[in-house]
């Protein structure tokens, strides 16, 4: 098994943290892992993306040209990455902020109102974890318990007070997919 996942959005949306969190959880589950961050010219508000490759065998290259899974947090990321998702891949997108309609019919699309859910939970910074919960429910690369454990172990100390909310966000994202009939 090898999965290539791309997370993309604006700086400040937690794109890097959610990719790193998935990488940590995969390492904890004894997978081979790469995580490569990429920032635009500005840190907060500029473009940002990262790739995670996880495999049960050694990884030949960390370069991801056609990800099997892409997670788009905003319109520019949706526009840029929808065309390169591998055939039969998955595009998870934040339907709270993305108003475009998917053009492809050869990939699975998963619209997640992540910002709306994060707002309901009381903190817009939870959007990234909502997206990750939805992704893992749609494609169970790891269990939610594995992600919970990684979150507990790797949430920065200055965000420790948000651990319970992050765990709720993970559950809400997963529940959205698990309790919604798929088309």
Strands 32-39 and 47-55: antiparallel
Spans of the chain below 50 pLDDT: 183
pLDDT at 183: 41
Nearest CA-CA partner of 47 in 6, 86, 88:
6
Domains, the chain, ranges and CATH? 2-178 (3.40.920.10)
The rounded distance, in Å, linking the Cα atoms of 7 and 69 is 9
138-147 pLDDT per residue, tens: 999 999 999 9
Residue 150 CA, chain-centre distance (Å), reads: 14
Asked if 127 and 173 count as a contact pair (C-beta separation under 8 A), the reply is no
Whole-model pTM: value is 0.91
């Amino acid at each position: 098994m090898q999965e290539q996942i791309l997370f993309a959005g604006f700086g400040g949306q937690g794109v890097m943290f959610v990719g790193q969190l998935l990488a940590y959880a995969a390492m904890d589950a004894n997978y081979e892992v790469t995580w490569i961050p990429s920032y635009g010219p500005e840190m907060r508000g500029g473009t940002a993306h990262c790739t995670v490759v996880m495999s049960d065998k050694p990884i030949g290259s960390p370069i991801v040209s056609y990800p099997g899974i892409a997670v788009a947090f905003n319109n520019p990321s949706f526009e840029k990455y929808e065309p390169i998702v591998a055939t039969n891949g998955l595009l998870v997108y934040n339907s709270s902020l993305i108003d475009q309609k998917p053009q492809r019919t050869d990939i699975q699309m998963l619209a997640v109102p992540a910002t709306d859910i994060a707002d309901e939970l009381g903190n817009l910074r939870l959007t990234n974890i909502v997206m990750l919960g939805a992704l893992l429910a749609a494609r169970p690369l790891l269990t939610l318990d594995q992600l919970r454990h990684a979150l507990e172990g790797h949430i920065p100390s200055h965000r420790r007070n948000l651990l319970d909310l992050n765990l709720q966000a993970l559950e809400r994202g997963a529940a959205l997919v698990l309790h919604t009939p798929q088309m």
